[in-house]
Structure 1
Amino acid sequence: MEQRTETDVEEFHKRCILVDAHSDMLLDVSPKRKEGKKGVIEEDWVPVMRKAGIDIRVAVIYIESNRVPEFALKDGLDIAAGFHKEVDESPSITQITKFEEIERAKRDGKIGLILGMEGAEPLGNDLELLRIFYILGLRMLTLTHVLRNYVADGAHFFPQKEGKVGGITDFGVKVIEEANNLGIVVDVSHLNDPGFWDVMELAKAPIVASHSNCRALQDHPRCLTDNQIKAIMDNGGVIGMNSASIFVDDENPDLDHLLNHLDHIVKLGGMRNVGIGFDFCDYALKYLDAESRAKLPNVAPVKDLYGDEEVPNFTRALVKRGYTDEEIELIIGKNFLRVFKEVWK
Structure 2
Amino acid sequence: MAATQPAIIDGHNDVLLKLYRAGGPARAQGFLDGLDGALDLPKARTGGFGGGFFAVYVPSPTDREFKMEEMSKPKYDLPLPEPIDWEDAVPVVLSQAATLLELERAGALVVCRSAADMRAALQAGRLAAIFHIEGAEAIDPDLHMLDVLHAAGLRSLGPVWSRSTIFGHGVPFRYPSSPDIGAGLTDHGIRLVRRCNALGIMLDLSHLNEAGFWDVARHSDKPLVATHSNAHAICPHSRNLTDEQLRAIAESDGMVGVNFAAAFLRPDGQMNANVPISVMLDHLDHLMGILGEDRVGLGSDYDGAVVPQMLTTVADLPKLRQAMTERGYGDTLIAKLCHENWLRVLEKTWGS
Fold shared per TM-score above 0.5: yes
What is the match of residue 302 of structure 1? 308
Structure 1 portions without partners, runs of 5+: 1-7, 283-298
Out of 50, 56, 65, the residue aligned to residue 55 of structure 1 is 50
The aligned amino acid for 1:211 is H
- Of residues 256, 271, 279, the one that matches 1:239 is 256
Identity value in percent: 30
Q: 1:41 to 1:148 in 2, by over 3 A?
A: same
**CA distance in 2: counterparts of 1:232 and 1:34, whole angstroms:** 36
Which of 12, 20, 24 aligns to 1:22? It is 12
Name which of structure 1's ranges 116-125 and 220-229 shifts more when overlaid on structure 2: 116-125
The structural deviation recorded for 1:24 is 0.5
The residue number in structure 2 matching 1:110 is 126
What amino acid maps onto 2:47 in structure 1? A
Match of 1:227 in 2: 244
Q: 1:181 to 1:320 in 2, by over 3 A?
A: same
**What is the rounded CA distance, in whole Å, between the counterparts of 2:150 and 2:24 in structure 1?**
24
Does 2:159 align with 1:143?
A: yes
- Tell me, in whole angstroms, the C-alpha distance in 2 between the residues paired with 1:261 and 1:37: 36
Partner of 2:37: none
Give the Cα–Cα distance (whole angstroms) in 1 for the partners of residues 296 and 108 of structure 2.
28
Secondary structure at the residue paired with 2:309? coil
Structure 2 residue 338 is matched with structure 1 residue 316: no
Q: Give the aligned length.
A: 315
Which residue does 1:170 correspond to in 2? 187
What TM-score, normalized by structure 2, do the two folds share? 0.85
The separation in 1 between residues aligned to 2:25 and 2:258, in whole angstroms, is 33
Contact kept? 1:17, 1:334, Cα under 8 Å: no
* Distance (whole Å) between structure 1 residues aligned to residue 189 and residue 294 of structure 2: 28
Correspondence 1:253 to 2:248: no
Name 2:285's counterpart in structure 1: 263
SS in 2 for 1:123: coil
Q: Distance in 2 between matches of 1:18 and 1:128?
A: 34
1:336 equivalenced with 2:342 (yes/no)? yes
2:45 counterpart letter in structure 1: R
What's the counterpart of residue 204 of structure 1? 221
Contact kept? 1:152, 1:172, Cα under 8 Å = yes
C-alpha displacement at 1:248, in angstroms?
0.7
With the length of structure 1 as denominator, give the TM-score of the two structures.
Answer: 0.86
Q: Is the 8 A contact 1:157 1:221 kept in 2?
A: yes
1:128/1:122 Cα in 2 relative to 1: closer, same or farther (>3 Å)? same
Distance 1:171 1:245 in 2: 33
The residue that corresponds to 2:173 in the other structure is: 157
Alpha carbons of structure 1 residues 267 and 46: separation in structure 2 relative to 1, 3 Å? same
Closer, same or farther: CA 242–177 of 1 in aligned 2, 3 Å: same
Cα gap change, 1:303 to 1:38, in 2 (>3 Å): closer
The amino acid across from 2:12 in the alignment is H
- Output the CA distance in 2 between the equivalents of 1:34 and 1:116: 17
Separation (CA, whole Å) in 2 of partners of 1:55 and 1:106: 6
Per-residue Cα deviation, 1:254-301 (whole angstroms, up to 9, x for no partner): 21111101101122242111100010125xxxxxxxxxxxxxxxx310
Cα RMSD of the aligned pairs, angstroms, is 1.9
- Distance in 2 (CA, whole Å) between partners of 1:92 and 1:110 is 8
Alpha carbons of structure 1 residues 201 and 34: separation in structure 2 relative to 1, 3 Å: closer
List, as ranges, runs of 4+ consecutive aligned residues in structure 1 with deviation greater than 6 Å.
none
Give the aligned residue type for 2:198. Answer: N
Report the Cα offset of residue 303 of structure 1: 3.2
Q: Which runs of 5+ in 2 are unaligned?
A: 35-39, 62-82
Could you tell me which amino acid in structure 2 is paired with residue 25 of structure 1?
A: V
Are 1:98 and 2:114 an aligned pair?
yes
Other-structure match for 1:278: 300
Aligned residue for 1:216, secondary structure, equals coil
Is the contact made by 2:8 and 2:339 (CA closer than 8 Å) also made in structure 1? yes
